[in-house]
Structure 1
Amino acid sequence: MEEKCLCEPSEILIFPCSGGSNVGQIANQAGVKLTQEGTGRLFCLAGIGGHVSGMIESTKAGKIIVAIDGCPVACAKKTLEHAGFHIDEYVEVMELGIEKNHDFNLNQADVQKVVNLLTSRIAERRGS
């Protein structure tokens, strides 16, 4: 099987955690929502961790790298840094006062908190 990435480079790349807790899934849902709203493009953190060449090259072409972690374990941040990438915007969901648990009936207001924070930060960075 050919190792080929179907991801096209984008100006703003979003790498959320998708860990096995509510906060990991909130991070992931925030990344999805930011993509749906046109703020940036959701990218594959696992591909970076797996050193998939096409994903690495597409990430190198990005201008702003956003990492969203659910908790202080910081898997998204550590994976990107291990691959040699500088993170331009970073959010840890638990730092927003959201407690970690294993209830996957996510509170959409929690997802929106993350989205609002990153939308604001990215707009500032872009000078909008």
Structure 2
Amino acid sequence: MSKTKIIPCSGIGKVHGSIAREAAFEIIRRENEKCETMCLAHIVTGDVDIKEKIENEKCITIDGCPALCAAKNVELAGGIVEQSIRVIDEMKKHRGAKPGTATYLTEDGWKMVDNIASNICENLRASSLEVD
């Protein structure tokens, strides 16, 4: 069985990207038998090996901002975006929270990471129950 690909945005220099990456790492820690992560930069640059790994495969993207770079590039590379998460939507649920910086997440930022990871893991578990 093929693992679901978890692809976060790169978002270098912004807290949004840090939250996206940390959420992807947390999902892999929790669901490593079902998921693996892929580097968005390799997808964007057309890396043949990565393209082959995601083509026609289930993918979950985690984008920091509304530009949806991860979701768009996964689709362009032939991946099937099963779920597209935007960190900015999670941040809206926590108006006034201070999530941190590009290099340091605060307690608020880690709560957002946990919320995103928990949501995705819950959906992964639910979808695996529906198979067969």
Q: TM-score range with shorter-chain normalisation? A: 0.7 to 0.9
- 1:103 pairs, out of 98, 101, 104, with 101
Matches within 5 A, 1:9-28: 10-19=2-11, 20-28=13-21
Deviations 1:70-104 (A, max 9, x none): 11011111111222322011110111225798723
Structure 2 distance, partners of 1:88, 1:24, is 20
Task: Please tell me whether residue 85 in structure 1 is matched to residue 79 in structure 2.
Answer: yes
Aligned residues with identical type, % of pairs: 26
C-alpha distance 90-72 of structure 1, shift in aligned 2 (>3 A): same
The answer to whether the 8 A contact 1:68-1:76 is kept is: yes
The answer to whether the 8 A contact 1:14-1:42 is kept is: yes
Q: 2:113 is matched by which residue type in structure 1?
A: V
Q: 2:14 is matched by which residue type in structure 1?
A: S
Q: 2:74 is matched by which residue type in structure 1?
A: L
The answer to whether the 8 A contact 2:23-2:117 is kept is: yes
Count of aligned residue pairs for this structure pair:
119
Task: State TM-score, norm by structure 1.
Answer: 0.81
Q: Which residue of 2 aligns with 1:46?
A: 41
Find runs of 4+ consecutive structure 1 residues off by over 6 angstroms.
99-102
- SS at 2:85 equivalent: strand
Task: State TM-score, norm by structure 2.
Answer: 0.79
Which shows bigger deviation, 21-30 or 93-102? 93-102
Task: Please tell me whether residue 68 in structure 1 is matched to residue 70 in structure 2.
Answer: no
- SS at 1:87 equivalent: strand
- Unpaired runs of 5+ residues, structure 2, are none
